[in-house]
């Protein structure tokens, strides 16, 4: 993985691999996508046994109804203790409902912990495509696991099909599912590349993530405007420099 940061961010370093939990509440089947380009034929690969998982919309609704496997009472108690610890009065009018709001917020922004992102890559279409497929500027919001502050930005995903393609919106859904959890940007980038390489088995995958981290813009070094760029490449994007250069030029534009 290649990582470029200006200036260096505090959200780096080793961390345990991301995990996916199954969900027993608010389940629904993922809608199969209609082919978005002419000449595609449906070809669903038989997936390994997997518990069906809901969409992020369903998870957000479940969070509001406190139907997710999240301990809301424990979060409420913890938030009240934090308010007391910083010298606030949790019983004043403006803060009375804050612990409950925070509990529902965490259930929503960490909804990806209860999703299997691979479910979005099971429906594929047989298509002979020799050139790169690139989806740029996929906006996302995630949460730094070091300070529990948001980092937001865009993901760019390119892959070289190997006889089949996936619906374009599914790549955006994968980004959403993986983004909604506490993590570091480096791991998020690697997770996206590894998942797509494993599930689609293309000739190559390239993932670039650009993000602004509030843990270094509103606290600590306080450098607003700084951006962190991470990349992860697999297959031909790693072994063939011209292919990797083409990806970078399509994402960032040609220099000179």
Could you tell me the residue ranges of all domains in the chain?
2-12+33-49+123-252, 62-109
pLDDT tens digits for range 20-37 = 333 333 333 333 344 444
Identify whether 131 is a catalytic site residue. Answer: no
- Enumerate residues 6+ apart whose C-beta is below 8 A from 21: 69, 113, 114
pLDDT value at position 6? 40
> Which CATH architecture describes the domain 62-109?
Orthogonal Bundle (1.10)
Whether 156 is catalytic is no
Q: Higher model confidence: residue 180 or residue 60?
A: 180
Q: Is 114 a catalytic residue?
A: no
Could you say which of 88, 127, 146, 201 is catalytic? 146
Greater pLDDT, 45 or 117: 117
Under 8 Å between Cβ of 171 and 150: no
CB environment 70-101: b (16+ within 10 A), e (fewer): bebeebbeebbeebeeeeeeeeeeeeeebbee
Q: Is 201 a catalytic residue?
A: no
Q: What is 2-12+33-49+123-252's CATH number?
A: 3.30.1130.10
Q: Mark whether 147 is an active-site residue.
A: yes
* 4 is annotated as an active-site residue: no
Q: Would the pLDDT of 217 be above 50?
A: yes
């Amino acid at each position: 993985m290649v990582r470029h940061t200006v200036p260096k961010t505090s959200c780096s370093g080793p961390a345990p691999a991301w995990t996916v939990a199954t969900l027993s509440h608010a389940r629904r089947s993922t809608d199969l996508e209609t082919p978005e380009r002419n000449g595609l034929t449906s070809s669903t690969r038989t997936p390994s046994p997997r518990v069906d998982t809901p969409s992020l919309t369903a998870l957000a609704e479940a969070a509001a109804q406190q139907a997710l496997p999240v301990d809301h009472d424990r979060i409420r108690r913890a938030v009240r203790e934090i308010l007391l610890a910083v010298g606030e009065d949790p019983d004043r009018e403006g803060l009375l409902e804050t612990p409950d709001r925070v509990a529902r917020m965490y259930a929503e922004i960490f909804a990806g912990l209860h999703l299997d992102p691979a479910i979005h890559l099971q429906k594929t279409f047989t298509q002979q495509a020799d050139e790169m497929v690139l989806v740029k500027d996929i906006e996302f919001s995630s949460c730094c696991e070091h300070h529990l502050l948001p980092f937001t930005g865009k993901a760019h995903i390119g892959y070289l099909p190997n006889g089949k393609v996936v619906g374009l919106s599914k790549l955006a859904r994968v980004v959403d599912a993986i983004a909604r959890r506490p993590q570091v940007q480096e791991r998020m980038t690697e997770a996206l590349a590894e998942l797509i390489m494993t599930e689609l088995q293309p000739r190559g995958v390239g993932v670039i993530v650009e993000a602004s981290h509030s843990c270094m813009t509103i606290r600590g070094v306080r450098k607003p405007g700084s951006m962190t760029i991470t990349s992860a490449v697999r297959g031909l994007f790693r072994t063939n420099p011209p292919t990797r250069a083409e990806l970078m030029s399509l994402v960032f534009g040609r220099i000179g």
